[in-house]
């Protein structure tokens, strides 16, 4: 039996990865685009949850983030000559950042302090804030044009649209600034209004469980300690 020289020998069959995606030239870039978009979106949310001290939801997001990332990278490494895959990866990264920030704004986790500074009498606004069960603290100050009244209230970020609406309705033209709070121990807060969530129920319950274990859980509606 004749033995063929090495140059005439049949090449070994290349084994295909079990994670390889079969399909047209459009399907593979689309899969990579969606995968990278999910990776960056989850990664953005994970970083936000880590910064806010959510010790349970952040590792769960990290698990799915790295799992999807490995899948996306395996597809790119098997198609290094296809520039469509690189473009799809870059587009997914770009859109993932936007979606992550958008979802975080919809979740509106944490607390914020609203400072309202005005030269006019803010009695009506203060009464409306207290009628809506918001805790209010008022102090006198001196601005660039003389004496001013400073109205401060600590609210949940989800309640910021309601606060802004009250300001624009009962004290239009007033200057106000909003700052996020790392933590707050006590105060007066209105009851949260439940609505349809944007996350699956198991994830929403996990976030609620983590929040219940944090110092912010001590703040309950009707608690008159702290801010008057």
3-state secondary structure the chain: CCCCCHHHCCCCCCCCCCCCCCCCCCHHHHHHHHHHHHHHHHHHHHHHHHHCCCCCHHHHHHHHHHHHHHHHHHHHHCCCCCHHHHHHHHHHHHHHHHHHHHHHHHHCCCEEEEEEEECCCCHHHHHHHHHCCCCCEEEEEEECCEEEEEEEEEEEHHHHHHHHHHHHHHCCCCEEEEEEECCCCCCCCCCCCCCCCCCCHHHHHHHHHHHHCCHHHHCCCCCCCCCC
- Rounding to the nearest 10 degrees, give the CA dihedral for residues 62, 63, 64, 66: 80
Instruction: Give the pLDDT confidence of 47-100 residue by residue, as tens digits.
Output: 988 887 788 889 999 999 999 999 999 988 888 888 888 999 999 999 999 999
Q: What pLDDT, on a 0 to 100 scale, did the predictor assign at position 192?
A: 55
Q: What pLDDT, on a 0 to 100 scale, did the predictor assign at position 215?
A: 46
Least confidently predicted of 129-143, 149-163, 210-224: 210-224
Tell me the whole-structure pTM to 2 decimals: 0.59
Query: Which of the two residues, 126 and 110, has the higher pLDDT score?
Result: 126
Q: What pLDDT, on a 0 to 100 scale, did the predictor assign at position 14?
A: 47
Euclidean distance between CA atoms 225 and 228, whole angstroms: 7
Least confidently predicted of 108-112, 172-176, 196-200: 196-200
User: Residue written as tokens 């608690």?
Assistant: 223
What share of the chain has pLDDT > 70, as a percent? 68
| Tally of residues, the chain | 228
Query: Which of the two residues, 20 and 146, has the higher pLDDT score?
Result: 146
Please report which confidence band the pLDDT of residue 143 belongs to, taking 50, 70 and 90 as the band edges: confident
Q: What pLDDT, on a 0 to 100 scale, did the predictor assign at position 216?
A: 44
Please report which confidence band the pLDDT of residue 198 belongs to, taking 50, 70 and 90 as the band edges: very low
Other Cβ atoms within 10 Å of 208 Cβ, number = 10
Please report which confidence band the pLDDT of residue 17 belongs to, taking 50, 70 and 90 as the band edges: low
Q: What pLDDT, on a 0 to 100 scale, did the predictor assign at position 40?
A: 94
- What is the rounded average pLDDT of the residues 3-30? 59
Positive/negative CA dihedral, 122, 123, 126, 128 = negative
Best CA proximity match to 29, nearest among 99, 79, 104: 79
Q: Is the pLDDT of residue 37 over 90?
A: yes
Q: What pLDDT, on a 0 to 100 scale, did the predictor assign at position 191?
A: 59
Q: Is the pLDDT of residue 8 over 80?
A: no
Q: What pLDDT, on a 0 to 100 scale, did the predictor assign at position 42?
A: 94
User: Residue written as tokens 């395996």?
Assistant: 74
Please report which confidence band the pLDDT of residue 144 belongs to, taking 50, 70 and 90 as the band edges: confident
Least confidently predicted of 153-167, 182-196, 201-215: 201-215
Question: β-pairing, 137-143 with 146-156?
Answer: antiparallel
């Amino acid at each position: 039996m004749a033995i063929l020289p090495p140059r005439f020998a049949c090449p070994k069959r290349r084994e295909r990865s079990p994670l390889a995606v079969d399909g047209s030239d459009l399907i593979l870039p689309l899969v990579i685009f969606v995968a990278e978009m999910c990776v960056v979106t989850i990664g953005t949310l994970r970083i936000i949850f880590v910064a806010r001290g959510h010790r349970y939801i952040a590792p769960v997001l990290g698990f799915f983030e790295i799992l999807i990332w490995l899948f996306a990278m395996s597809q790119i490494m098997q198609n290094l000559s296809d520039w469509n895959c690189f473009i799809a990866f870059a587009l997914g990264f770009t859109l993932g950042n936007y979606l992550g920030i958008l979802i975080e704004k919809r979740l509106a986790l944490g607390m914020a302090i609203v400072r309202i500074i005005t030269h006019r009498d803010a009695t009506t606004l203060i009464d409306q804030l207290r009628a809506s069960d918001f805790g209010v603290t008022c102090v006198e100050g001196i601005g660039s044009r003389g004496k001013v009244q400073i109205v401060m209230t600590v609210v949940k970020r989800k309640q910021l649209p309601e606060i802004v609406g009250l300001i624009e309705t009962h004290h239009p033209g007033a200057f106000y600034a909003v700052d996020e709070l790392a933590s707050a121990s006590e105060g007066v807060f209105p009851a949260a209004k439940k609505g349809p969530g944007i996350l699956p129920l198991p994830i929403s319950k996990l976030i609620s469980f983590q929040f219940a274990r944090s110092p912010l859980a001590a703040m309950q509606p009707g608690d008159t300690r702290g801010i008057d």
